[in-house]
Amino acid sequence: MSEAFDYDLFVIGGGSGGVRAARVAAEAGARVALAEEYRMGGTCVIRGCVPKKLMMYASQFRDHFENAAGYGWTVGETSFDWSRFIAAKDAEIARLEGIYRGVLTRAGVEMFPCRAEIRDPHSLELAGGYRISAKHILVATGGRPWKPPLPGIEHAITSDDIFHLEEQPRRLLIVGGGYVACEFAGIMNGLGSQVRQFYRGDQILRGFDDELRDHVAEAMRDRGIAIDVGRDIAAIEKHDGALRVVADNGEVTVVDAVLMATGRQPHTDGLGLERAGIELAPSGAVPVDRWSQTPVPSIYAVGDVTERVELTPAAIREGQAFARTVFGGIATPVDHTLVPSAVFTQPEAASVGPTEAAARAAGEVRVYRARFRPMLHILAGRSETMLIKLIVRASDHTVIACHIVGHGAAEIIQMAAIAVGMGATKEDFDRTLAVHPTAAEELVTMREPVS
Ligand code: NDP
């Protein structure tokens, strides 16, 4: 590797994509350094997927306690201690952060716990004015929650803040209808907060299959979440420790906290990319090709900062592919088609492949659907149903999409995604023996299309 530079690779950002790229490049023999101005682990580990899922688990105990009675158990009085949970969650996040550091240390990556800014295509300046040169620079700075500019918006929190609130808000208003909004609506409702959700569109989870969206929304409402669609927030006023939220129709709601889950924006402010000759998208995203290379050949970018697919596994795959291509000698483009994903709502929703509407627009399809009460719910006395849907191309019977709502949806979709990715046909699904009694067996036992 080149001695003309201080490093072969300098990575900015210690999240999922940056850490993977740094480790793989170092293991391939590159001299690698990584700067992270906050905590190692990035959004996923520190203030995203991991703490969110721990909160989700915490919130699901309410269901377990309620279900228990139907199975003959008597559960005594229950209560939830927010501070105790937050401390346990923080200890786990610190443990994971340590693992990330360990991975990089063992791979021989030098870590700088500070901000790094790009000065030109091969040089960077670290906090304190320290200059470094690198043959390649990888931008993996992720994204940050974005709040619309409204009167009183400074009183609203984002998903970054909710993990560290000193007290659990008794009344919470959530604005948005995407992943973060819907997941936190379920979590906070499960933990006992009174939750109201404003979504400006006509149904939450835009971009997902319409039946999936309707199913999730109905189940969330049945669980006590007040979802107002076609509703937006106009202003927030603070009075005596409470927040008066004025909606776009003038209606006022008084709550203890407002969570703005109105999307994220690439974290590129002041990074110096323009100085190096890269024109950013209006959103601030870094433009890249399928090799994650920017128009400036020595600078690459992976993960949320590129706004391709804002999911941890995509960032990891992009980081890995970049390192293999540039340092491993194996040209590895990233395929962003057919990305499975799950929304950890309650009930969970998960999808791979196009929505029914998109599939129909592309050609003739057959739709297979099962809607049923999962076995667990019967003795528990719950009416909530599960939805499993397959979309099959009419011409050759290829299963092109699967949409699931219900317990274990995320776990099931991971396996279904393998079959769909391999081009399995409906006959391949049908030939597979069912695993009984499970909910997932419906995937292989749906005989007649519903449309
Ligand atoms: P999303 O883009 O999913 O949702 C943003 C929501 O905010 C949408 O409902 C959008 O409405 C609404 N919105 C945007 N601007 C405004 C505004 N000015 N006023 C009112 N509402 C507004 O963003 P999230 O922050 O929820 O998530 C970001 C990304 O992170 C996701 O796209 C996903 O890729 C990833 N993520 C993945 C998770 C998982 O895998 N389980 C969990 C959490 C996040 P509209 O639909 O009308 O545009």
Query: For 172-192, what is each residue's pLDDT tens digit?
Result: 999 999 999 999 999 999 999
Token pair belonging to 355: 């929505």
Q: State in Å: Cα 178 to ligand 1 middle.
A: 4
User: Which atom of ligand 1 is nearest to 177's Cα?
Assistant: 9
User: Over 80: is that where the pLDDT of 3 sits?
Assistant: no
Q: State in Å: Cα 181 to ligand 1 middle.
A: 7
Q: Whose CA is nearest to atom 13 of ligand 1?
A: 262
Q: What is the pLDDT of residue 2?
A: 57
φ and ψ at 83, to 5 degrees?
A: -65, -40
Q: What is the pLDDT of residue 125?
A: 98
Catalytic choice (64, 336, 407, 436): 436
User: Which atom of ligand 1 is nearest to 207's Cα?
Assistant: 46
Q: State in Å: Cα 59 to ligand 1 middle.
A: 21
Pocket test for ligand 1, best of 262, 312, 341, 346 (most atoms within 8 A of CB): 262
pTM of the complete model: 0.97
Q: Whose CA is nearest to atom 41 of ligand 1?
A: 343
User: Which atom of ligand 1 is nearest to 201's Cα?
Assistant: 47
Query: For 201-233, what is each residue's pLDDT tens digit?
Result: 999 999 999 999 999 999 999 999 999 999 999
Q: Whose CA is nearest to atom 3 of ligand 1?
A: 178
* Overall average pLDDT of the 60-67 stretch: 97
* Overall average pLDDT of the 303-323 stretch: 98
Q: Classify 347-444 by CATH class.
A: alpha beta
Which band of pLDDT confidence, cut at 50, 70 and 90, is reported for residue 317?
very high
User: Over 70: is that where the pLDDT of 62 sits?
Assistant: yes
What are the start and end residues of each CATH 3.50.50.60 domain in the chain?
7-144+265-326, 153-262
User: Which atom of ligand 1 is nearest to 179's Cα?
Assistant: 26
Q: State in Å: Cα 146 to ligand 1 middle.
A: 10
Q: State in Å: Cα 12 to ligand 1 middle.
A: 25
Q: Whose CA is nearest to atom 29 of ligand 1?
A: 310
User: Over 80: is that where the pLDDT of 326 sits?
Assistant: yes
User: Over 60: is that where the pLDDT of 38 sits?
Assistant: yes
Thinking of the domain 153-262, which architecture would CATH place it in? 3-Layer(bba) Sandwich (3.50)
Q: Which residues line ligand 1 (CB under 6 A)?
A: 148, 175-181, 183, 199-201, 206, 232, 261-264, 310-311, 341-344
Name the fold adopted by 7-144+265-326.
Answer: FAD/NAD(P)-binding domain (3.50.50)
What are the start and end residues of each CATH 3.30.390.30 domain in the chain?
347-444
Q: What is the pLDDT of residue 1?
A: 55
Q: Whose CA is nearest to atom 39 of ligand 1?
A: 343
Pocket test for ligand 1, best of 147, 200, 232 (most atoms within 8 A of CB): 200
Q: State in Å: Cα 176 to ligand 1 middle.
A: 7
Token pair belonging to 14: 């210690």
Query: For 376-429, what is each residue's pLDDT tens digit?
Result: 999 999 999 999 999 999 999 999 999 999 999 999 999 999 999 999 999 999
| 436 belongs to the catalytic site | yes
Q: State in Å: Cα 232 to ligand 1 middle.
A: 14
User: Which atom of ligand 1 is nearest to 204's Cα?
Assistant: 9
Token pair belonging to 317: 């795959």
* Overall average pLDDT of the 288-315 stretch: 97
What value does the mean pLDDT of the chain take?
Answer: 97
